[in-house]
Amino acid sequence: MIRLLPSIFSILITTEFILGNFASGFIALVNCIDWIKRQKLSSADQILMALAVSRIGFLCVILINWYTTVLHSVLYSLKVRIIFRIAWTVSNHFSIWLATNLSIFYLVKIANFSSLIFLYLKQRVKSVLLVMLLLGSLVFLVSYLAVLFVDDNMQTTEYEENITQKTKLRDMLHLSNMTLFMVVNFIPFTMSLTSFLRLIISLWKHLKKMQLNGKGSQDPSTKVHVRAVLSVVSFLLLYACHFLTIVIFIWASVRPQNELVLMLCEALAMLYPLSHSFILIWGNKKLRQAFKNIRKIIRLTDH
């Protein structure tokens, strides 16, 4: 049974990889075709396309890492592990921050607030998102990669030279690594949570206004609000599960006899980009319609 587990998880992870790449590839392809046709792309579609590409890279890193560790563990040297660790960090970072940008974009574009700050953000949404992505997230990424580089470099030195006198420094680096990891992941989660709460408040105010005017609650603005709220809350739930999975994976990786937990975490890590990509298709009118057209074509082909 123990020998059978890697094969079962390999099939599961490969299936998740195919489905996840199909969803992300579909998002990127539809937006790319639309870009070619219209010679322009909206800010939301630009974020979606960039997010889809980052998700494809993220899924590829997880799959290659899985088969390298499970099927070819002899090839999984310390230097190879360091390369995959950096690749995973970069792809995961952009996947999370681009999804956070999308949540903020929904808030700024859909919600209605009368504050001067919000109106300022609404008028300059593209500049705000660009600054937040380039300056905000990249500062955290560079800082985190710097700590990872020093930590991995020390592990290589210890591995090659068998040095045991750097235990305190190594523990400090591990602590810095975990602290930065928590900060880098907590900030985008907090920003998305704030966007969700503000969208809920905006939706509540909109429904209250509609009731006072004697109108129904099924107007286009309400539907847009609801879809945005569901999209953001789904990202928050999936991201929370993803973050918990990573924490468990880090905890299990430093302890022996935790192969089952590590394999389970690898499989669960793919559920976040896979599920969220399908939710994004459902929540976007253009993507949803394109997906329905593909289903119609498949049905006609079958008949």
Tell me what pLDDT residue 176 has.
65
pLDDT single digits (tens) 69-99: 766 655 566 677 778 888 888 888 888 888 8
Query: How many residues are present in the chain?
Result: 303
Least confident residue range of 3-12, 52-61, 237-246: 3-12
pLDDT single digits (tens) 253-289: 666 566 778 788 888 888 888 899 998 898 888 888 8
- Whether the CB-CB separation of 151 and 169 falls below 8 Å is answered with no
Alpha-carbon dihedral angle through residues 188, 228, 92, 98, given to the nearest 10 degrees? -80
pLDDT single digits (tens) 134-179: 666 777 788 777 777 766 666 555 544 444 555 666 666 666 667 7
Rounded to whole angstroms, the Cα distance separating 277 from 271 reads 10
